[in-house]
Structure 1
Amino acid sequence: MGEKDTTEKILADYNDVFADIINGLVFKGEQKVTPESLENISTRSVYKGRKNKLHEQERDIVKLWKERDIEFAIYGMENQTLPEKYMPLRILGYDGATYRSQLQKKRKRPVAVLTIVLYFGTDKMWDKPTHLKDVIYIPEGLGEYVNDYKITVFNIAWLTEEEIARFKSDFKIVANFFVHKRKNKDYVSDDKTEIKHVDEVLKLLSTMTGDERYEEILAEKEKGEYNTMDTVAEHLVNMGEARLGKLINLLLQNNRIEDVKKASVDKEARKKFYKEFGIID
């Protein structure tokens, strides 16, 4: 969460990407939501806490879906890189605030609020509760009277090829990347699909993978066009080889012959040496 959520929002906040995610995941590929039918809504809401103090809560992305003067629904999108136990409580708070906001605006007929959670983890599928009743204590005898609340979580790295094929925007490239990354941690993309929002995709990948070289590519864009994942991957390989060469030279200068051998074959040892010499991995 934190920085990772903020980075992802940069890409998904584009209407073409947001609409594509909703169409691909919620409507199973039917093109019901168009980018032109989406309007931004404030992600901030205010509520009263203890001692009537006002508090702000902020969502990742919220958009109103409408055609002309007809409002259909309000979509919220939350991004997670780690499963979170109390996510149902968070989503309930967000959705409740959105419904309350509609009442304050005196809408004749409030519209449905739907929040989806995009989970980008690759080590394991979402394994935390998706129902409110699973995270709260319910005294005996009250179970049938306490309302439940279910959240919808999409495990992006576990999407099938058929599901990925439903996407039309840059999110297809992102989803494909995470699926392959789950299957092979050393995955090198050969995707030749042109990226529309290059900066946002590379920033997302940099934050989600912890590989700062994606950010470095952004600074080098004037030296070459890296607008497909295969060209990005090729550049990453070249950068990796250059760093390894620099590391080996430094080790040789310090007469660390055994460490040269380790750096050549042991990935974890190589990371340790990179950190020791201040070389960004």
Structure 2
Amino acid sequence: MAEKDIAEKNLEAWNDVFADIANVLLFNGKRLIKEDELEADTKDSMFKADDELHEQERDVSKFWKNGEIRLSIIGFENQTRQDYKMPLRVISYDGASYKQQLLDGKFKKNYPVATLVLYFGTKERWTAPKNLCECFEVPDDLKPFVSDYKINVFEIAWLDDATISKFQSDFKIIAKYFQTKRLNKDYEGSKDEIKHVDALLKMMSALTGDNSFEVAYNESNLSEKGGVTMCDVVERIVNKGINEGKADVIRKVLDAKALTAEQIASILKLPVEEVKEIAQKVPELA
């Protein structure tokens, strides 16, 4: 399994986050699913092709239970790009879950399956098929006999403020970040305390392809202070960028042997010792 996929799953796999996403997107913020009612779906479904068994697994999948009764199975699929075969993928996942119910005699009652496609694209709306029959051409005479199958696509970057405000978990930060990027605004962070810091920042890195958030957290002392917010992380990113900018200036000036460390410190309004420390980190120029 790719490292990117693992990182995306990490945050959503927490019961409080999973329940929060489902409650907001499916039930308009009503807290119908409690985190202690969720159980990880640990069974990987299999399908046979070319006389070989292949594993097929959702990004994140959990059973919603009430006591010993399984009410449903809910799965998430994360998409940063549009997938024009998404209905085919979803129906294969859902079908495998229903087939498992036929084979599993532990539970007397069958239960419904729901899959949510979480689309994190910021440049364009989802225009790929949302129904199975949109994936192929169906002859008119055959249409009455071909069952359609719709998928549930949620465009995270296009959620409005009212919807985003209903999230109570760390996913609220994810949703607000992608909305901000879609609007081409500068992301300033949130003052809400992050509960699952490592998982959140890894998911941000995986979905955006930018590891600035994760690096800023790992290279600072944020992990030691507790009560970390996205404002803290963004501040570290900004400071890191400023310091790297200063380092670039110092590198060029030292390379040209144009100014002394004292003169550079005066121009950049930095302590001489800090200039010398930056210079020492670039031994080829020091």
TM-score by length of 1: 0.84
Given that 1:132 and 1:150 are in contact with CA atoms closer than 8 Å, whether structure 2 keeps it comes out as yes
Deviation at 1:139, TM superposition (A): 3.1
The one-letter code sitting in structure 2 at the alignment partner of 1:231 is D
Q: What count of residue pairs does the alignment treat as equivalent?
A: 255
> What is residue 166 of structure 2 aligned with on the other side?
166
> What is residue 248 of structure 1 aligned with on the other side?
249
Deviation at 1:56, TM superposition (A): 1.1
Closer/same/farther in 2, CA of residues 222 and 63 from structure 1, 3 Å limit:
closer
Q: Any gaps of 5 or more consecutive residues in structure 1?
A: 256-276
Point out the more displaced range, 67-76 or 148-157: 67-76
Residue correspondence of structure 1 range 195-214 to structure 2 within 5 A: 195-214=194-213
Deviation at 1:222, TM superposition (A): 4.4
The one-letter code sitting in structure 2 at the alignment partner of 1:87 is M
Residue correspondence of structure 1 range 193-272 to structure 2 within 5 A: 193-219=192-218, 220=220, 221-222=222-223, 224-225=225-226, 227-253=228-254
Deviation at 1:143, TM superposition (A): 1.3
The one-letter code sitting in structure 2 at the alignment partner of 1:198 is V
> What is residue 124 of structure 1 aligned with on the other side?
124
The one-letter code sitting in structure 1 at the alignment partner of 2:229 is T
Residue correspondence of structure 1 range 103-118 to structure 2 within 5 A: 103-106=102-105, 107-118=107-118
Deviation at 1:3, TM superposition (A): 4.2
Deviation at 1:253, TM superposition (A): 4.6
Residue correspondence of structure 1 range 46-125 to structure 2 within 5 A: 46-50=46-50, 52-106=51-105, 107-125=107-125
Confirm whether residue 146 of structure 1 aligns to residue 171 of structure 2: no
Percent pairwise identity? 44
Structure 2 CA distance for aligned equivalents of residues 252 and 137 of structure 1: 65
Structure 2 CA distance for aligned equivalents of residues 43 and 80 of structure 1: 22
Given that 1:43 and 1:59 are in contact with CA atoms closer than 8 Å, whether structure 2 keeps it comes out as no
The one-letter code sitting in structure 2 at the alignment partner of 1:143 is K
> What is residue 268 of structure 2 aligned with on the other side?
none
For residues 74-104 of structure 1, give each alpha carbon's deviation from its aligned partner in whole angstroms, at most 9, with x where no partner exists.
1011111111100000000000001001110
- How large is the RMSD of aligned CA atoms in angstroms? 2.1
> What is residue 263 of structure 1 aligned with on the other side?
none
Closer/same/farther in 2, CA of residues 240 and 46 from structure 1, 3 Å limit:
same
Closer/same/farther in 2, CA of residues 127 and 252 from structure 1, 3 Å limit:
farther
Structure 2 CA distance for aligned equivalents of residues 177 and 218 of structure 1: 17
Deviation at 1:59, TM superposition (A): 1.2
> What is residue 177 of structure 2 aligned with on the other side?
177
Structure 2 CA distance for aligned equivalents of residues 23 and 168 of structure 1: 10
Deviation at 1:19, TM superposition (A): 0.3
Q: Any gaps of 5 or more consecutive residues in structure 2?
A: 257-281
Closer/same/farther in 2, CA of residues 135 and 197 from structure 1, 3 Å limit:
same
Given that 1:76 and 1:114 are in contact with CA atoms closer than 8 Å, whether structure 2 keeps it comes out as yes
For residues 188-230 of structure 1, give each alpha carbon's deviation from its aligned partner in whole angstroms, at most 9, with x where no partner exists.
22x1100100111111112222222222233233465571011
The one-letter code sitting in structure 2 at the alignment partner of 1:21 is I
Closer/same/farther in 2, CA of residues 222 and 163 from structure 1, 3 Å limit:
closer
Confirm whether residue 156 of structure 1 aligns to residue 156 of structure 2: yes
The 3-state SS of whatever aligns with 2:31 is coil
For residues 249-276 of structure 1, give each alpha carbon's deviation from its aligned partner in whole angstroms, at most 9, with x where no partner exists.
3344555xxxxxxxxxxxxxxxxxxxxx
The one-letter code sitting in structure 1 at the alignment partner of 2:95 is G
TM-score by length of 2: 0.83
Deviation at 1:44, TM superposition (A): 1.8
Structure 2 CA distance for aligned equivalents of residues 226 and 244 of structure 1: 29
Point out the more displaced range, 7-16 or 179-188: 179-188
Closer/same/farther in 2, CA of residues 129 and 2 from structure 1, 3 Å limit:
farther
Closer/same/farther in 2, CA of residues 223 and 245 from structure 1, 3 Å limit:
farther
